[in-house]
Structure 1
Amino acid sequence: MPGGRLTDEERRTIAEGLAEGLGYGGIGRRLGRPASTVLREVTRNGGPEDYRADQAQESTRDRARRRRPERPPEPAAPDDGDGRDPRQLREFEEFFTALLERQGLPRMAARVLACLCVADSGAATAAELVGRLRVSPASVSSAVNFLEQQGMVRRERTPGERRERYVMGDDIWLRSALAALRMNEELIAATRRGVEVLGPATPAGARFDASAEFLLLMSEALHLVLERWNGRRGEEWGVGPPRRPPPGCAAPPGLREGARPPGAPEPQGNRPP
């Protein structure tokens, strides 16, 4: 039954699905359960390579015997009203957290960011995050510091109040793209330096040269995407010219005002996009 505990038979189905190479979504459809449930079960019991149905069943029994008295019901995520299903919201939040982890975010930073993402306000106080995630204030503080360094979260303070609010902002992926552009520019400079040091005629130098060419194309493509996005937002919101990058997230040198990345070739004729 969806939402209930997994049975021994369901765990065998999971093991068979993993052996067949099915993804979590495919296994979940077989069971009639969300993919996030399958993901948690497999992650908790050895991962996709070492998952064993009988061992998972025994581990579950052991955990049940050691389980502490039940805690109060988990508080709802900030701003998750409007008749939305709390269980579906929690499952999506867990799924999105796992996705952010696979993209490279540390576990706690992914949990905090996912919590902010599902909140209509995109914001929460430290106390709200501690209560929602059931972790220590120090864990939340470390995660917020990391996200702030990445430009994904900012701090705000309501006038007259001492408590800070951590705000995700609607431009989070724009900031991420700008950070990727900055990193790409640094990689282009480093690979070109590698060509100079190693010599373009050597195998290693040729490899660096090809890498620089590819990274340059990446910068061009990302810059065009940002230009198109800013133009679209200008049309939709009727604000005229494309918006400037958010404060603290200016585009890298050579990528402002429609300029091409350093060293980019001039456009030729009807060059395909």
Structure 2
Amino acid sequence: MFQKVHFIQKFVNLSNTSLTCQVFRSPGGDDGVVSAQRDDEAVQRYAEQFGNLLADTGWPRMSARVFAAILGSEQGRLTAADLAEQLQASPAAISGAVRYLLQMRLASREREPGSRRDVYVVQDDFWYESMMRQDRYLTRWEDSVKLMLDAAGQGTDTTRRLRATMGFLDFIQKEFDGLSDRWIKRKAEIDAELDAEFSN
């Protein structure tokens, strides 16, 4: 798990800067960074690894690769032709992959101004939106399990198993509610930090 988290952090860092930066000596004697150039090759390599990690958790592999490629792109948006070239995949494979992402609302489709080409975009808050969809799924799962529980009778092994399941789903549901509130507050802080950093 630590290795996966460490790799994702490297991927995020590389999306903005390279692994090596030129260092200068300021007149006051302090070291500073002259420039930090994006390393496209490294970003794409780590994006491919991130896509494989997503596929390992159950994502369709090509959709995972497409998602990671868009996420790591400089503008957070790529055309189907861009994706086919970067991933060395057929137009049909890209079409199927983006269709899945659009259906799952993991990406959106936009039209480039003055062009007929569609671009596929990963929004900044997609993780939160994905989590909220899981919250809605939990509610539906809980309702469905409740129906089974009502029909299972009393004092049976099935009842015990279903009540344990209900307890878990109820616990997770309540945790989601608190997590959502905490994330909204934390996101405001992160947005302020990023606005300050990228406005310079």
Relative to the length of structure 2, the TM-score reads: 0.74
2-structure distance, mates of 1:85, 1:120:
10
2-structure distance, mates of 1:98, 1:179:
23
**Contact 2:48–2:69 (8 Å) recurs in 1:** no
Greater length-normalized contact order (CA 8 Å, ≥ 6 residues apart): 2
**Contact 1:155–1:165 (8 Å) recurs in 2:** yes
- Report % sequence identity: 32
Please state whether the residue corresponding to 2:155 is helix, strand or coil.
coil
1-structure distance, mates of 2:158, 2:103:
34
Partner of 2:157: 203
**Contact 2:63–2:98 (8 Å) recurs in 1:** yes
Runs of 4+ in structure 1 off by over 4 angstroms are 78-82, 235-238
**Contact 1:80–1:118 (8 Å) recurs in 2:** no
Partner of 1:120: 74
Q: How does 1:25-40 map to 2 (within 5 A)?
A: none
**Contact 2:84–2:90 (8 Å) recurs in 1:** yes
Please state whether the residue corresponding to 1:124 is helix, strand or coil.
strand
Q: Give the direction of change, closer, same or farther, for the CA distance of 1:209–1:89 in structure 2 (3 Å limit).
A: same
Q: How does 1:58-77 map to 2 (within 5 A)?
A: none
The offset of 1:119, in angstroms, is: 1.0
**Contact 1:125–1:163 (8 Å) recurs in 2:** yes
**Contact 1:80–1:120 (8 Å) recurs in 2:** no
Partner of 1:219: 173
Q: Is 1:155 aligned to 2:109, yes or no? A: yes
Q: How does 1:93-104 map to 2 (within 5 A)?
A: 93-104=47-58
Matched residue type, 1:94? E
Please state whether the residue corresponding to 1:165 is helix, strand or coil.
strand
Corresponding residue to 1:194 among 143, 148, 156: 148
Please state whether the residue corresponding to 1:199 is helix, strand or coil.
coil
- Unpaired runs of 5+ residues, structure 2, are 8-14, 19-35, 193-200
Q: How many correspondences in the alignment?
A: 164
Greater strand share, 1 or 2?
2
1-structure distance, mates of 2:154, 2:117:
57
- Unpaired runs of 5+ residues, structure 1, are 1-22, 26-34, 36-77, 239-273
Q: Provide Cα deviations, 1:179-236, integer angstroms capped at 9, x if missing partner.
A: 1101111111111111101124211022111101110110111121111111233456
Partner of 1:48: none
RMSD: 2.4
Q: Give the direction of change, closer, same or farther, for the CA distance of 1:131–1:79 in structure 2 (3 Å limit).
A: farther
Q: Is 1:173 aligned to 2:143, yes or no? A: no
